[in-house]
Structure 1
């Protein structure tokens, strides 16, 4: 979820409001902000900087753009740097917050969240990973999540007049589409993010914390029901059982013209049309269906939170920047500019004009994130969920394989057990 960005750069290589000193400039406190490449446009950052410095005459912004490659080590180093020259505000991936909060290196922003920032309306998939116990460290900024990208012309040819709103309808419609050389859906066998949504919809989870220890729970009855639905849906296409959605890239498979649906972020449609211009105007989007028509399916929510290092020289100034960036005015503007989901359910109306983003917002309203523990990165490094999915899709006993995968997840989350 990284977009286009930036190069309003001075000799130092950082984005600032002005490269030279202005009268009275020495009286301003500089707030250093690290934002990730392609998270916001050059024009958005220019306008935000001008507005912020106009309304905060004692503060000056120094926005520095970071690359995602190597960012974890860079942030960790900054959090332990007491030189006073580090960042005051950092954009981090929502699921990375537990990694950085571990060890008490982030400022607790709970009071500001409760008093000024409307935390009750935050998207749960952004807010929950930013929280540890009663302390809020990560402040939701923007979100993106998977929807169903589909061929409107193939739906019409199959006599499907509207997108499905329930899982049962989705299976029925996909089976209709799965004929005449067309795959009803292309769903790779190891797309564990999509599986996670089905598990959450059933009331299960990938792992749970019990008595201060994390335990894999893929073997729960609810999680097994989620895997069974995944198996039934995946069978209505020719997705490889032993690969994820990037091997091969599903945009290329869809662009081949023989696929009716994929589960992906809406932005992937641009890549599809670039590879097959004949599909221009033929693609549509709908939320991943839920168990009932009352609400869309639960989805994994990706995106970014803003954090304040505990070693900032001025927490008041840092929180002023966080409050402005995540407030309704600029968060809505960012969502419209970059086709994101705003950080609050109450702001969803700002993106109703974009079909793909509106579909994302519907799912994000009750989206989820991976288990909120620093050790989850160890699970993903050699992900046992992927092997579990492949084995089940290959005909192995689901319960036995789920127990095996759950044990491996537990080992990675609590290696001392």
Structure 2
């Protein structure tokens, strides 16, 4: 979930800035304990906003904790997970890592649980879907650091030209709108990115809108369930085979390219996130947005997305890690980071504050969906392998003449096999 820099909001200014942005380093006065923090870089434009955020946060914290020094290492999203893995393998794990996944480290007993680090009020303040996604075997190891969700976006100008009033609320309306857009020569009436870049996310959105998902109530994979097969059969028959998904086959269309086409005004509809909304509007696209349509109405839930922060046990700094993380999750800091990066706050109280902030009126629909959203099964150690399989193969399920049951069945069998080795 890489995001761009936004300005500081009026709400955050009113609250006061806990993380004073001064300087670009992460140095503090020498102390009794030095914590190493490795964090992902959220600045897609090559700037230093992420470094300055952590520098300010560390400066504010160490000013009142003279016995602690915190060294921050910010790495690009292309490298951060790999570099943390290399540090752990070399026996030099960071004390704190803010990265994309936690499950393998938790399964190996390398992480503190959230209740070993956080105060009860702080831990209880996480939005429930995010906290639940951070759990493994009924214990929370991954603490949500940044969150987002997805809505269906549409190009209002293209809708107006096609005589379409409002966004679709059901699959049938979506297909009907796509037909009208095609008649107006819209290049991508509905962009369906099932290419290998992030097909697992697009897939989950459709599975949820079809009434199921990746797992059942017990956490077992249900990828080839009857509902999921019907979902992909519908996509193939009603969108792909009717030429409503554009000139690039869904299995070859990556999210980045679909998003770029939307920002160029070439896409009628797609599933998008807050950063795309901001980028498209900057380029003159009037963006409409609605909750993801389902078979007969709104999808059962939106897909949520989170990045994680975690504490490693290796250097036995539990007390210092916990005290710092309690500070990280102060609402003023949560709101600052979310506001700067087109993200949604991970705590109940910060979510409430942002909802009431008129500066974030364009995020209200996303904020409304997040508390009831459903996240991918990131707590399963098998998920990385299953996710990669989906990325590489799910596009085949909507190819003309292809049977979705066969493709989903193969992915489902491999998922179950991977699950049985957890």
For normalisation by structure 2, the TM-score amounts to: 0.79
CA contact (8 A) 1:151 1:260 kept: yes
Shift of 1:104: 0.3
* In the alignment, structure 1 residue 368 sits paired with structure 2 residue 374: yes
Which residue is equivalent to 2:257? Answer: 249
1:218 to 220, 223, 242: 223
- Matching residue within 16, 29, 42 for 2:26: 16
Q: Which moved more, 1:333-342 or 1:38-47?
A: 38-47
Deviation of 1:42 after TM superposition, in Å, equals: 4.2
Once residues 324 and 169 of structure 1 are traced to their aligned partners in structure 2, the CA distance between those partners, rounded to angstroms, is 47
Q: Which one of 109, 112, 116 corresponds to residue 107 of structure 1? A: 112
More displaced 10-residue stretch of structure 1: 57-66 or 200-209: 200-209
Give the structure 2 partner of residue 344 of structure 1: 347
* Equivalent residue, structure 1, for 2:8: none
Distance 2:382 2:175 in 1: 35
Is contact 1:130–1:139 with CA below 8 Å preserved after alignment? yes
Contact 1:296 1:362 in 2 (8 A): no
SS in 1 for 2:271: strand
Aligned mate of 1:152, from 153, 156, 160: 156
The alpha carbon displacement at 1:315 in A equals: 0.8
Q: 1:330 to 1:215 in 2, by over 3 A?
A: closer
Count matched residues. Answer: 391
- Cα deviation, 1:154-205, whole Å, max 9, x if unaligned, reads 2233344433444454444344333221243222355442221232344423
Q: Helix, strand or coil: the match of 2:103?
A: helix
Q: Mark the runs of 5 or more structure 1 residues left unpaired by the alignment.
A: 10-14, 19-24
Query: What residue ranges of structure 2 are gaps of 5+ in the alignment?
Result: 6-20, 44-48
Give the corresponding residue for 2:15: none
* 1:132-151 equivalences in 2 (<5 Å): 132-151=136-155
Do residues 408 (structure 1) and 401 (structure 2) align?
no
Would the aligned equivalents of 1:392 and 1:401 in 2 still touch at CA under 8 Å? no
**SS class of match (1:75):** helix
Cα deviations by residue, 1:83-109 (Å, 9 ceiling, x for unpaired):
6xx42211021xx11122121011122
Contact 2:95-2:321 within 8 A present in 1 as well:
yes
Q: Does 1:305 align with 2:318?
A: no
3-state DSSP class of the match of 1:310? coil
Give the 3-state SS of the residue equivalent to 2:183 in structure 1: coil
8 Å CA contact retained: 2:232, 2:397: no
Instruction: Give the Cα–Cα distance (whole angstroms) in 2 for the partners of residues 408 and 313 of structure 1.
Output: 38
Change (3 A) 1:148 1:244: farther
Q: Post-superposition shift, 1:68?
A: 2.9
Please state whether the residue corresponding to 1:205 is helix, strand or coil. coil
Report the CA distance shift for 1:238/1:345 in structure 2 as closer, same or farther (over 3 A): farther
Say whether the 8 Å CA contact 1:332–1:347 is kept in structure 2. Answer: yes
Equivalent of 1:117 in 117, 122, 140: 122
Is residue 2:275 matched to residue 1:267?
A: yes
CA RMSD after TM alignment: 3.4
Query: How many Å separate the matches in 2 of 1:102 and 1:282?
Result: 45
* Counterpart for residue 204 of structure 1: 212
Q: Distance in 2 between matches of 1:257 and 1:201?
A: 25
**1:185 aligned onto 2:190:** yes
CA separation of 1:168 and 1:58: change in aligned 2, threshold 3 A: farther
Other-structure match for 2:18: none
Distance 1:387-1:394 versus aligned 2 partners, 3 A rule: farther
1:38 corresponds to 2:46? no
Displacement of 1:139 after TM fit? 0.9
Shift of 1:340: 0.5
Deviation of 1:238 (Å): 1.9
Residues 193 and 26 of structure 1: is their aligned pair in 2 closer, same or farther, counting only changes over 3 Å?
closer
Question: Secondary structure at the residue paired with 1:150?
Answer: strand
